[in-house]
Amino acid sequence: MNKVWQIAGREFVATVFTKGFLIGLLIVPAVGLLLALVMPRLFAGRTLTVEGEIAVVDPTGVVMPHVRSVISARRSPLAVTEIVERARAGGADEMVLTALGATTQLTLIERPPTADLEQEKAWLVEPMPAARHLALIVVHANAVEPSPGTSNLGSYDVYVPSKQDNRVEVSVQGVMREAIISARVDARDLNREELSIVMTVPRVRSTTVGADGERDTVFGLNIIIPVAFMGLLIMGVMFAGQGMLTTTVEEKSNRVIEVLLSAVSPMQLMGGKLVGHMGISLLAMSLYLCFGLVALASFSLFGLLDVKLILYLLIFYLIAFFTIGSLMMAVGSAVNDMREAQQLMMPLMLTMILPWMLWWPIVQNPSSPLAVVISFVPPVNSFGMLLRVASSNPPPAWQVWLSIGAGVAGAFAALWVAAKVFRVGVLMFGKPPNLKTLVTWLRTA
Amino acid sequence: MQMSSAAIELAGVTKTFGSLTAVDRLDLTIPRGALYGFIGPNGAGKTTAIRMIMSILLPDSGELRVLGNRSALEAKDRIGYLPEERGLYRKMKVAAYLTFIARLKGVPERGLRERVHSAIERIGLKGVEAKRCEELSKGMSQKIQILAAIIHEPDLLILDEPFSGLDPVSTRLLKDLILAEHRRGATVLFSTHVMPQAEELCDHVVMIHRGRKMLDDPVSTILRPHDSRALSFEPLDAHVDVGAVRALPEVERCVAVEGRYEVALRDGVNAAAAMRSVLAVVPAARIELKRPTLEDVFVAIVAGAPAAGDKAVAA
């Protein structure tokens, strides 16, 4: 056992006390911070200016003045702000808010009520117009007053040219909505301002009541926490697995492996590497976890974290580490250089990519058949189950323990395979093994 | 298999890789304290045999004991090993590397630092302790690798092609280190292609060819069956005509070789009588019986031919 610790200690020291480790440690939060700062701006895009002509055919004869009025008012920044606020209070999504908040420079082309629709449509596709033709609006005859014998009100039809930003249409429809509502209000002799006040109910922030007290509800935390824990898990496994892969390849390529094997058995060498790199990744994960906890505490959100999650993180980390990490080390032992390793690494990398592809549906619906199946199938079960236990709708305890049991079985199987491949692979040089060769190794080692 | 207290005992050890039999029913006994040379051509199975002795590879069949144990794993701390393909941790400092290997070999912490420093000093590399291994020259690296094999003062020292790539100075140093380890009491087994070194260092040679043992005898015994019927003759006058020698009835052939002559004798000729006949016709500065070298024996066995000494000058 002492030799295992000697190997582990060397791996730990040789990795941790290097600039590369510090850079690697800092680069993950740095990239995360950068993405958090940059991505919203990248997604927000530049402010849209809706500029061009809209043609309106109004058989009612009462909507057109209101369209004119709304277009004129929309040129005022104050009016735009008010529209956006009202839409936000009504629960409009971000795209609608962006479109409504867009700078509008619309020019109204008033068409006669009897205009020919096909001819008007041709206006939309005129080549190289002086001003962009954004939309053709045909107001329904019953848009303001219901047709005789009915109580339903109509609206309008919109025709747009191809390849146009959807936000333009949203903005144009916002104009028409405002104009038709105003026309209907006037037709009924109602007070628009009063109606607005009556119709507006601002959205309120809820208060989360817990055993340890009350606090403002933090929306998104039930998504952030599972993803953060899964990210930590993947990072920890990748950190260790990649380290074991590269050091094994390095020891093979610089031929120090046989010197080591004269002092320790292949299993002691493998055991030492596993312990050493487990220590390295646990150190990295602990540091990140501490940063996260300090951040939560600084925002007085520490109480929102179920401390049991840290225990689950450790359990699922150990399962994923021994499953995926040991197989990565086996890959390192079977190849001659990193280029050859890439080919054998593909299936293992998929087990890391899969959780990233599936985290959203799992977090959205932790009890879905997909989430349940994923949480029982090694080697991805650790990631799936951790997402579920950290979600707002955790699974029953028996599922958690069943997943742990499946994971432990998978880890033992992976260690068995890795040990067999490692024992033979570390002394094999030359052509990298194919699947048939690996099977032979498993049978003979 | 009757096991004794020999350092290494192999009985019927076989190892195959697919259809290739690398080592074929090898029997070998190396007594404690001996200095054995393990010779054979490329691909003979030397490295495979050594790896099995080291328990790095497991034999397909046969029995094996190392320092009285069924596996070298049980005695790894008492064995020093220098593999054919060897290397160092490039980023590790020299003293740290040797300390690491010494710890793996079970050297106690007390006095370890002094042991490492004195060992480095012993091979004339004082001052490299704090250097990274990647900063060392090739020769220095090889010295450190050799040091790593003996840092724990092993009872059994196994060296696989230790002289390959060494310059004459380093070769001399390594020879001295091997002899020093042998004098200390260690059993030494080393494989080599360089026959003069094996002949110079070893008191016993084992030769394998195509996985099979071809020779397993003391060097003196190996050379005795190949007693020469050839003379090495250096005339007093370098420009003398040796036609008289060639004309002697005992002489089959006389060939000039690097300032002297090698004289092949006919079958049934008494070497001492022939020597007197040669001296009678040409004054000689030196004349001696030409004995075969280990290299002659090696080449003869590998080529499947009789020992080279029999026809030393006929070649």
Contacts of A10 in chain B (CB under 8 A): 100
**A188 and A242: one domain?**
no
Structure tokens at A370: 């997909």
Please tell me the distance from the alpha carbon of residue B309 to that of residue B291, in angstroms, as a whole number.
6
CA–CA distance, A112 with A133 (Å, rounded to integer): 17
On whether both A127 and A243 belong to a single domain, the answer is no
Would you state the pLDDT for residue A94?
61
Chain B residues close to A259, C-beta within 8 Å:
81, 83, 86-87, 101, 145, 148
Among the three residues A137, A164, A199, which one is the final residue of a domain in this structure?
A: A199
Evaluate whether B40 touches B297 at the Cβ level (below 8 Å). Answer: no
- In-domain check, residue A54: yes
Per-residue pLDDT, averaged over A15-19, amounts to 86
Chosen for mutation from A247, A258, A260 (greatest number of chain B CBs closer than 10 Å) is A258
pLDDT value of residue A350? 86
What is the rounded CA–CA span in Å between residue A253 and residue A248? 9
pLDDT of residue B203: 85
**What is the tally of helices (H) and strands (E) in chain B?**
10, 13
Best B16, B48, B56 residue to mutate vs chain A (most A CBs within 10 Å) = B56
Mind listing the pLDDT tens digit for each residue in B62-117? 999 999 998 888 888 899 999 887 888 988 999 999 999 999 998 999 999 999 99
Contact yes or no for B82/B159 (Cβ under 8 A): yes
Helix or strand or coil: residue B45?
coil
Q: pLDDT category, B42, cuts 50, 70, 90?
A: confident
Residue A204 covered by a domain: no
Q: What is the pLDDT of residues A343-382, one digit of tens each?
A: 888 888 888 888 888 888 888 888 899 999 999 998 899 9
Residue B179: Cβ within 10 Å count: 14
Q: Which long-range contacts (CB under 8 A, 24 or more apart) does A59-65 make?
A: A59/A113, A59/A139, A59/A140, A59/A141, A60/A139, A60/A140, A60/A141, A60/A143, A60/A144, A60/A145, A60/A183, A61/A113, A62/A144, A62/A183, A62/A186, A62/A187, A63/A139, A63/A143, A63/A144, A63/A179, A63/A180, A63/A183, A64/A110
pLDDT of residue B156: 95
Pick the last residue of a domain from A170, A199, A228.
A199
Domain assignment of residue A416, yes or no = yes
- Structural domain that includes position A151: 49-199
- The minimum CA-CA distance between A417 and chain B, rounded to whole Å, is 18
Determine the distance in angstroms separating the CA of A251 from the nearest CA of chain B, rounded to an integer. 7
Establish if A213 belongs to a structural domain.
no
Q: Is A399 on the interface with B (CB under 8 A)?
A: no
Amino acid B96: pLDDT: 94
Q: Is the same domain home to A190 and A253?
A: no
CB B171 within 8 A of CB B196: no
**ipTM of the shown complex:** 0.74
Residue B254 · residue B245 · CB < 8 Å: yes
Q: How far is A282 from chain B (nearest CA, A)?
A: 24
In chain A, what residues touch B145 (CB-CB under 8 Å)? Answer: 259
Angle, in degrees to the nearest 10, between helices A221-253 and A308-320: 30
**pLDDT of residue B309 exceeding 60:** no
Q: Are residues A310 and A419 in the same domain?
A: yes
C-alpha–C-alpha distance, residues A164 and A297, integer Å: 47
Q: Is residue A13 part of a domain?
A: no
State yes or no: pLDDT of B148 exceeds 90.
Answer: yes
Q: What is the 3-state secondary structure (H, E, C) of A245-279?
A: HHHHHHHHHCCCHHHHHCCCCHHHHHHHHHHHHHH
Please state, rounded to an integer, the average pLDDT across all residues of chain B: 85
Across the range A397-411, mean pLDDT stands at 94
Residue A63, by phi and psi: left (phi above 0), alpha (psi -120 to 50) or beta? Answer: alpha
In total, chain A counts a number of residues equal to 445
State residue A88's pLDDT score: 65
Total domains in the fold of chain A: 2
B contact test, residue of A4, A5, A256 with most B CBs within 10 A: A256
Do A287 and A375 belong together in one domain? yes
Q: State how far residue B194 is from chain A, nearest Cα, in angstroms.
A: 23
What does the CA dihedral B234, B240, B241, B243 come to, rounded to 10 degrees? -30
**pLDDT at position B165:** 78
pLDDT for the residue numbered B118:
93
Single-letter amino acid, residue A309: L
Three-state helix/strand/coil letters over B195-236: HHHHHHHCCEEEEEECCEEEEEEEHHHHHHHHCCCEEEEEEC
The verdict on A145 and A251 lying in the same domain is no
Task: With a cut of 50, say whether residue B193 has pLDDT above it.
Answer: yes
- For B60, name the nearest residue in chain A, comparing CA atoms only: A444
Q: Is the predicted pLDDT of residue B54 greater than 60, yes or no?
A: yes
- B91 and A14 within 8 Å at the Cβ level: the answer is yes
- Asked whether residue A393 is assigned to any structural domain, the reply reads yes
> What pLDDT, on the 0 to 100 scale, is given for residue A270?
92
B150: closest CA of chain A, how far (Å)? 12
What's the average model confidence in pLDDT over A410-427? 89
Nearest-by-CA chain A residue for B149: A259
Same domain, residue pair A185 and A246: no
| pLDDT at residue B305 is higher than 60 | no
* Pair A224, A152 in one domain: no
d(CA B89, CA B101): 11
* CA atoms within a 13 Å half-sphere pointing along the CA-CB vector of A209: 0
A80 contact B CB<8A:
no
- Residue A257 falls within a domain, yes or no? yes
The answer to whether B83 contacts A259, with C-beta atoms less than 8 Å apart, is yes
Does the beta-carbon distance from A262 to B83 stay under 8 Å? yes
Q: Give the model's pLDDT for residue A85.
A: 67
pLDDT tens digits for range B197-233: 888 888 899 988 888 988 888 887 777 655 567 888 8
- For chains A and B, CB pairs below 8 A equal 56
Q: What is the CA radius of gyration of chain B?
A: 24
Same domain? A193 vs A233:
no
pLDDT per position as a tens digit, A333-353:
888 888 888 888 888 888 888
**Residue A268 sits in the same domain as residue A193:** no
Whether residue A294 is contained in a domain is answered as: yes
Nearest to A263 among B51, B87, B104 (CB): B104
Mutation test of the interface with chain A: which of B77, B84, B89, choosing the one with the most A Cβ atoms within 10 A?
B89
**A 236-275: CB under 8 A from B:** 251, 254-256, 258-265
DSSP 8-state class, residue B288? E
Closest-CA residue of chain B to A10: B100
Of B76, B104, B148, the CB nearest to A6: B104
How many C-alpha atoms does B65 have within 13 Å on its Cβ side? 16
Decide if A89 touches B, using CB distance below 8 A: no
Q: Does A397 touch chain B (CB under 8 A)?
A: no
What's the mean pLDDT in A207-220? 72
Q: What is the pLDDT of residue A103?
A: 65
- More confidently predicted of A63 and A74: A63
What are the chain A neighbours of B16 within 8 Å (beta carbons)? none
In this complex, do B81 and A262 lie within 8 Å of one another by their Cβ atoms? yes
Q: Is the dihedral of CA A325, A331, A332, A338 positive or negative?
A: negative
pLDDT grade, residue B307 (50/70/90)?
very low
A154 and A84 co-located in one domain: yes
Nearest to A265 among B73, B85, B89 (CB): B73
**Per-residue pLDDT, A225:** 85
Please tell me whether residue B184 adopts helix, strand or coil conformation: helix
Most confident of A80-84, A353-357, A369-373, A424-428: A369-373
CA A237 to chain centre: 20
Q: How many CB atoms lie within 10 A of CB B217?
A: 14
Interface of B to A at Cβ within 8 Å reads 51, 54-57, 73, 76-77, 79, 81, 83, 85-92, 100-101, 103-105, 145, 148-149
Q: Following CA atoms A285, A286, A290, A291 in sequence, which dihedral angle do they give, to the nearest 10 degrees?
A: -30
Residues of chain B with C-beta less than 8 angstroms from the C-beta of A264: 76, 104
Which range in A128-132, A147-151, A439-443 is most confidently predicted, on average pLDDT? A147-151
Instruction: State whether A258 and B86 contact (CB < 8 Å).
Output: yes
Q: Given an 8 Å threshold on Cβ–Cβ distance, is B56 in contact with A261?
A: yes
**What phi and psi, each to the nearest 5 degrees, are found at residue B200?**
-70, -40
State whether A385 and A279 are in the same domain: yes
Last residue of a domain, one of A130, A164, A199: A199
